[in-house]
A and B are shown apart, each in its own frame.
Chain A
């Protein structure tokens, strides 16, 4: 097939000088015309390498072909065969390292904008609700399954289990669904209305969601079995914030990324005092780290009115784990970047509030275990950076609560991750797990993939019983 010469469509975004002051969505998504043009770029190659890059194996060329034919209803159905949350994945998947990284067109220039097309198709369905097909549910069984955690892993597992015909109850400790999608990723990147919409869809499959229930405290794992649940899926995520362990981290004005983002996103602190949860933000804000979490924090800080919002990262830009699109968006929004800079201490004033952070300059040495070049301190490069807010965004570990309160659950000693076998089963028969709780911080789509795989394994397990 001849290669289409049309360049990749640019994904439109709002003016940076305007958007860095509010929480409305930054990326605008394709127009219909753009979507069709972009879809026509796909050469529908036989080998479909892109599908190997998608953890849930959407038949990408097939859905794109339908977009090119303007059969959007067909396209969304094709996607939903594999993915229950397309409007979310189309927005937050790191496509450049997943599906798009394997696109045949890369050899000839730029890959097809798969993520943007996925988003277009999902949004289009929402805008034209008449096109919604009722979901197919296999024969209803009188068997109860419990899913713990309403993040992407739990939501996906619950949806698939409901389709297999099980009576699914989803227990969530927060007051709303989504996990990181709700409390972590800000509105300007993933509007909550979309999350609500996708949650409604999952409920429409017959999943009952019970909020404000912390498994391990409100009910123990033993209680769930006592209550007649025949299998349990744990999708409790990686919610335990890591700190740097440097002096001054408990000063007022130092937040973990989770605290900062939860105040703003889940509790709407950006609408204080209409919403009653406060968040305090200074004039100069340093965010330590350069992953998606750090980008979200720094851009939120800017939007809350910080004059200077600065990323401080001990490696260089090339090693930054954030999605490229978010890094670029951050730069456009006047975020300052200090690469090769490592904080070593935070100083406070007499009231215990942050006044500065001392940093060391770094250079890159030999590659370390992660394959990335190791940052090495430059002697005598110490300098003080005046700041009044510091946000620590250097990663998080598996939520330890269930493992702590369920002694028989086998946990990797070093990482705290739950151990599972090839059937996604933990060391306790009938308890399955997946997503960040078994891998450490990963991606939305990988967590969803894990949820799907576990749901299939649970179905197999229950059929054998």
Chain B
């Protein structure tokens, strides 16, 4: 892979029980080719092995924000610099 075609690094961030189950608050990573949407990245997480496979085993309750904005599963991650994963919010 040449530098021109290599995907840029993105920051992945994890909150609440996703932070606890993955053991990461954040990581800097180059996503593999073919990961285009939020649902792609959720599926990819289950293929990474322990502890991500367990943390992301049930993607349904997991919410995603792209560059600090709530995103639907169909949203494109092409321009995102920061992808955050978290359970439904419970503040207030």
A pairs with B = no
Q: Write the residues of chain A forming the contact surface with B, with a CB cutoff of 8 angstroms.
A: none
